[in-house]
Amino acid sequence: MVALRIRQFTLTRDMTDIEAFRSETRAWLEAHCPPEMRLPVRSEADICWGGKRFRFQSEAQRLWLQRMGERGWTVPTWPREYGGGGLGHREAAILRELMAELKCRPPLQSFGIWMLGPALLKYGSEEQKRHYLPQVARGEIRWCQGYSEPNAGSDLASLATRCEVHDDHFVVTGQKVWTSYADEADWIFCLVRTSTEAKHTGISFVLIDMTSPGVSTRPIKLISGKSPFCETFFDGVKVPRANLVWKLNDGWTVAKYLLTHEREMISAMGERAVPLPVGRSALKSLGADATGRLADPALRAEIARFEVDETAFRAWLKMFGEQARAKEAHPAVSSALKYYGSELNKRRWELTVAFAGSDALEWESERSGQGSIARTWLRTKGNSIEGGTSEVQLNVVSKRILELPES
Ligand SMILES: Cc1cc2nc3c(=O)[nH]c(=O)nc-3n(C[C@H](O)[C@H](O)[C@H](O)COP(=O)(O)OP(=O)(O)OC[C@H]3O[C@@H](n4cnc5c(N)ncnc54)[C@H](O)[C@@H]3O)c2cc1C
């Protein structure tokens, strides 16, 4: 009886704390999120990536990042000593819900937050965490990812960028490719070969300042007319030994862990970026029949199928998040999520192009947000390649989840 009362008291106190957190957070967001940062993201130009070379689109964008960064709410669950908000998962979920409800834009998008941060939290030294993570949280440095090479993509462990090991420094020589935003990044997290004796156990994970002598980038132009990624060259680049993350020749361990976060990030990318559900956008574009339904029945059926799949995917993402927090998630599930999320996002934009009609053909007009539909549709084609191709994810699912025999 006493135990029951204590439990009820604790539960009531927890609920009171959570409700207090909710109302304080709502009031803070309403007071501190500038009105411009509550408008939908129209194009890539509205996204804040931070970093030394980033040009803020407006004072409101700069202020929003600064205010959220000071509170640690760009990375709500990271510990406070590393620049995070120190929130529990329940509070972080409330913050996410409120930001969605109040239509607050994410203050910062960053490979540092999505990929390097989790890897450093697990494998970085205390010094590395205290040095790099707060700068990531405040959007002061922008990171890019140096994994792929001309002869190492799906078979990443074939990478050949050479790293000579000296007493207090390394010397890196070689080439990376498809390095997203390398020409805008301040630092690169990079896989290099420190030993040729064994494939996987001769790789190390190092952090390289992009302004180091010997680093250069060459943008690769795409069908969209943009250059979201580059070739990155290292010509005898001297890197302090302190920039090694984890152990020499065991960078593969860090690389794999980081990839699970990259896959989760890509799988949820489509869900994060959607300004309006597909059905509602279609209704706005095509209009309704006499009963208020989308006028085109064939498209209506296809959109309904898509939205059912999307709802199921969201539920799956949520369940995975809960399992991951309870440390009960199967590690290979990130591959299944990445596969399904990428394919779903491609379907989303195929449908959008189908109902947007001639609007989807606009490329540069102000009205179309500089051709945002056409460019996003083209960009989604890369979702099933980046972070590991769909075929490779299916291989992982078949071997590690379904336990099918190797062919
Ligand atoms: C938009 C975008 C952004 C990217 N950003 C970055 C970045 O920032 N940093 C970075 O390091 N890399 C980046 N990449 C590179 C990406 O990780 C690689 O393109 C990807 O891993 C595939 O490697 P690959 O291009 O060498 O293709 P390959 O490995 O040569 O594959 C070619 C084809 O063969 C198939 N294939 C290969 N092996 C198998 C197999 N075992 N079983 C079945 N099919 C197989 C593949 O599925 C694919 O269809 C990016 C790519 C894209 C598209």
User: Ligand 1 centre from 339 Cα, in Å?
Assistant: 13
CA of 150 to the centre of ligand 1 (A): 10
pTM as predicted: 0.93
Q: Which amino acid is at 32?
A: H
pLDDT in 10s for each residue of the chain, 407 residues: 556 566 665 656 677 899 999 999 999 999 999 999 999 887 778 999 999 999 999 999 999 999 999 999 999 999 999 999 999 999 999 999 999 999 999 999 999 999 999 999 999 999 999 999 999 999 999 999 999 999 999 999 999 999 999 999 999 999 999 999 999 999 999 999 999 999 999 999 999 999 999 999 999 988 777 788 999 999 999 999 999 999 999 999 999 999 999 998 888 877 766 667 899 989 988 899 999 999 889 999 999 999 999 999 999 998 998 898 888 999 899 999 999 999 999 999 999 999 998 888 888 888 887 888 888 898 899 999 999 999 999 999 999 999 998 76
- Would you say the CB of residue 147 lies under 6 angstroms from ligand 1? yes
Q: Which atom of ligand 1 is nearest to the CA of 148?
A: 11
- The full 3-state SS of the chain, as one line of letters, equals CHHHHHHHHHHHHHHHHHHHHHHHHHHHHHHHCCHHHHCCCCCHHHCCCCCCCCCCCCHHHHHHHHHHHHHCCCCCCCCHHHCCCCCCHHHHHHHHHHHHHCCCCCCCCCHHHHHHHHHHHHHCCHHHHHHHHHHHHCCCCCEEEECCECCECCCHHHCCCEEEECCCEEEEEEEEEEEECCCCCCEEEEEEECCCCCCHHHEEEEEEECCCCCEEEEEECCCCCCCCEEEEEEEEEEEEHHHEECCCCEHHHHHHHHHHHHHHHHHHHHHHHCCCCHHHHHHHHHCECCCCCECCHHHHHHHHHHHHHHHHHHHHHHHHHHHHHCCCCCCCHHHHHHHHHHHHHHHHHHHHHHHHHHHHHCCCCCCCCCCHHHHHHHHHHHHHCCCCCHHHHHHHHHHHHCCCCCC
Measured from the Cβ of residue 167, the count of other Cβ atoms closer than 10 Å reads 5
Determine which residue's CA is closest to atom 31 belonging to ligand 1.
154
Under 8 Å between Cβ of 260 and 334 = yes
- Which among 339, 386, 396 is the best mutation to test ligand 1's pocket, defined by most ligand atoms within 8 Å of the CB? 386
The position carrying tokens 């029945």 is 297
CA of 172 to the centre of ligand 1 (A): 23
- 82 close to ligand 1 (CB < 6 Angstrom): no
Residue with CA nearest ligand 1 atom 13: 178
Catalytic residues, by residue number, are 262
User: Is the CB–ligand 1 distance for residue 175 below 6 Å?
Assistant: no
Which atom of ligand 1 lies nearest, measured to the CA of 151? 26
| Of 148, 183, 190, 226, best ligand 1 pocket probe by most atoms within 8 Å of the beta carbon | 148
Question: 304: CA distance to ligand 1 center in Å?
Answer: 32
CB of 385 within 6 A of ligand 1: the answer is: yes
Query: Which of 377, 385, 399 should be mutated for ligand 1, with most atoms under 8 A from CB?
Result: 385
> Measured in angstroms, how far is the CA atom of residue 384 from the centroid of ligand 1?
9
CB-ligand 1 contact for 148 (6 Å cutoff): yes
